[in-house]
Each structure stands twice: as structure tokens, then as C-alpha cells.
Structure 1
Amino acid sequence: MAQHYAFTDNVRDLSNNDGFQFEFSCERCGNGHRSPFVRDKAEMAQNVLRTVGNFFGGNAHKLGSLADYWDRGTNSAAKDRAMSEAVETVRHEFRQCRGCSDWVCHDVCWNEQVGQCARCSPFVHEELSRAQSQAQVQQMHDQAREVDWNKNLDVSARTTVTCPHCSAKVDGGRFCSGCGQEFQVKRACPGCESTRNVPGAAFCSECGTRMG
């Protein structure tokens, strides 16, 4: 009859041809505990039979076939026993929460004072610290919105990202950080005295007079 084991829904089988090993993981944080590696005695005996069969050859090859048959006949029971032993080895590392029924690790995700996992009954001081940090960040955003960051920004002047004199990359401002030249030099039209012409304009955009 098949046996039933605790927290088998979060177990990973790491067994190989030489023996058995299992890894049990917390269903909240994912931290895991591995059971000790247990060599399969039946597999060790099979290896002996295979070695003898390969060495002598001939009819002795039947020993190798017997080893394969032995593996099919006993591996399931051996694995069941290894699984049962692995469960007992790591059982003390886990607790089952009565709130959500998850198996969680005792060291990180188990709230000993309440007797539930940290998802169902979070640690009060950790939650308070998290709430305080979130509130502080929110208050910083609120205070930043109250500041007029455009108070000294000339939004009527076109923003310059490349200096027209030395072609350096700049982050705005009135003067180039590479050559020191002023970006927005307003030149009055000699005809209509308009200062709305862009730097480098050959003719006035208002009256058509040559700019000089």
C-alpha cells in the first residue's frame, strides 16, 4: 500500500542511480532543506552483478539482466523507505499553518507567537517598519509636488541640448558648459527692433530686414 507523507507537495526529488535525496521547500519564501544523501544498497548490489557479468562475459551476462530485473522489482519500496526517512529528517524545519494550510519554514516564515505563518499573521514590527517607510516615501512625493520647480525656468526660450558654437551636449541653461558661449543671444532687428528672431537668423522674421 502506498504511504502518505507530510508536505510532499513541495518536495523535489534529487535521487539518482546511486541513491536517494529529497529537497523540501517553504511554500512562502522558497527556502529549502535537503535530506542527507542515502545510498541505495540494492543499486550497489546491482553494480556488483553488472561488473561480474561484464568481466566474465558469456552466460554471465545474465547476471546483468538479473540486476536490471532486481532494480525494477525493489526500487519503488527502497525509494518509499528513503522518502519516509527524509521526511523525518527535515520535519522539525517546517510548520503547517492552520490558517492557509501551507507548510512553511520555521526559521523565517513562522510566527511563533501567533502559531501561524507570516502570511496569515505578519510580524507586527516588520509590518510597522514597512508601513513607516512607505508613508515616508509617499510624503516625499507629496512635498515634492508642492514645490514650484519651474519658478526660475524660462519656458518661453527654446531648450538647447547641443551647443550651436562647439556642438557639445548640454543640459540646458544660458551658457555652454563646454565653451562658455551664451545660447540665447537676443539680437534686435535693425529695421523693426524685434527680438523674436532665433540666433543665427539671416533675415528678420517680422519685417524681412537683413540681420547684419
Structure 2
Amino acid sequence: MPDLVPFTDNVDDLSNTEGYQFEFRCERCGNGYRSPFKRDKVETGRGLLRAVGSLFGGMAEDVSRSVEQWRYDRATNSPAKDRALTEAVTAVRGRFRQCRGCGDWMCVDVCWNDDIGQCLQCAPAVAEEMSRAQAAAQRDQIWEKAQRTDWTEGLDVGHRAVVQCPECAAKVDGGKFCSSCGASLAPKTRCPGCGHDGNRVGALFCAECGSKL
């Protein structure tokens, strides 16, 4: 019985019609390794036969057509590919660990907790987890303190805030007058009929009495 071919679920097959290559990645951080491209010697020989067939025709051409039929499933089924995959898995074996907690394959350099024997996702490092918790608590406390602080003291919230000068269209950060042209940020249009001065700039009729402005 032929030897079984070991494989993992964190591998991508990059093989093509010229040869074999595999990419292994960490299922937590995404870092990984790619095996060197290994050219398929049999496929190279078939390529030579195809070239001969196209040059000389006849029987050689028949051989070339047969070779084309042999291309079938070379990318998924061949002893050469089995050997290439076995070699690639053996080469990266020391770079990854399979976590017994979640079953994922993790890189040793970044995502593995040697003290516990599990990945950092299942068994976070104490110092790193403490640092994250401290940072999260600090962020929450900042928000809490900001909520307790009165940020509206001195602000006139009874009047609508203006962010653009009605005269020159410059952007403003509040106040009563434009810092670019000096125009009032709250100009009033007084009604000649009733004296109401709360009409918006550009209004054609008074909002109180309907007189024409």
C-alpha cells in the first residue's frame, strides 16, 4: 500500500502545469511560507514532445496529441505532486503548531503560547492580555471623565450655531462675527411693517405679519 500523503488545512495549492508549489499560512495572523517552485520533469519532457510534433508532423504529431490528452488532471493527481506536497509539509512542519483547543494551525513565531502549549487565541499571554485590558480600561475611563465634564459652559445653545459666514461663505468656528470679513454671523432682517427682526436673511415676507420685506 502506498504511503499516505500528510497535509494540513492551512495550505493553498499554487501548482500549475509546469510544476508544484504550496503556500502555508497561519490561521490567526495570516503570515506564512511558500515552498520553492519544483518543476515537473515529466511535464518538461512532454513539452519537448509537443514541440517535436509541431515541427515534424506525422507520427510525432500523433505523439504530441497523445501528450495533450495526458495533461488531464496532472495538477491534482500524480505521484510527483504527492512527493512535492510531502516535502513541502516536512519543510514547514517546525514553523507551525496545531492548537488542541481550537484545532487551527498557528505560526510558532507570533501566535503560539509555549508556556501553555496552545495558540494565543485560546491561551493569551498574560502580559499581553494585561496590557490590552489596561488600555481598554484607560479608554473607557477617558470617555467616562469626558461625559462628566461640562463642555457647554459659556456656549449660547439657545441660538443655532453657524459654521459658514452668510456674507463671504468662509468657514467659521462659532462666535458672533466672521473672522474673515467681519460680517455678523447672525444678521437680522427687520420687518418694516411690524418690526419683527427674526426673519432669516433672504426671506421675501415677514414670518410674523406676512408683510413684504
If the TM-score is normalised by the length of the shorter chain, which range does it land in? 0.7 to 0.9
Matches within 5 A, 1:64-79: 64-72=64-72, 76-79=78-81
Kindly indicate whether the alpha-carbon contact (under 8 Å) linking 2:190 and 2:198 is maintained by their aligned counterparts in 1. no
**1:45-124 residue pairs with structure 2 within 5 A?**
45-72=45-72, 76-124=78-126
> RMSD over aligned Cα, in angstroms?
3.4
Aligned 8 A contact 1:46 1:71 in 2? no
2:106 corresponds to which letter in structure 1?
V
One-letter amino acid matched to 1:80: D
* Displacement of 1:71: 4.3
Unaligned 5+ segments in structure 1 are none
How many residues end up aligned between the 2 structures? 207
Q: Over residues 47-70 of structure 1, what are the superposed CA-to-partner deviations in whole Å (9 max), with x where a residue is unaligned?
A: 121122222112211221342355
Q: Percent identity?
A: 54
4+ runs of 1 displaced by more than 4 Å?
Answer: 69-75, 184-189, 203-208
1:42 aligned residue: 42
Q: Can you list the C-alpha shifts for 1:112-145, whole angstroms capped at 9, x where unaligned?
A: 1211101011122111111111111111111111
- 1:3-58: CA deviations, max 9, x gaps? 34241x22111111111000011111121211111110111111121122222112
The answer to which of 91-100 and 161-170 deviates more is: 161-170
State the TM-score, normalized to the length of structure 2: 0.81
Query: What's the TM-score once normalised by structure 1's chain length?
Result: 0.81
Q: Deviations over 1:79-138 (max 9, x none)?
A: 111111111111111111121121111111111121110101112211111111111111
In structure 2, the residue matched to 1:160 is 162
Change (3 A) 1:68 1:206: closer
Unaligned runs of 5+ in 2: none
In structure 2, which of residues 131, 134, 139 is the aligned counterpart of residue 132 of structure 1?
A: 134
Q: Name whichever structure is richer in helix by fraction.
A: 1
Say if 1:42 and 1:71, in contact at 8 Å, map to a contact too: no
Aligned equivalent of 2:198: 198
The letter of the residue matching 2:51 is: T
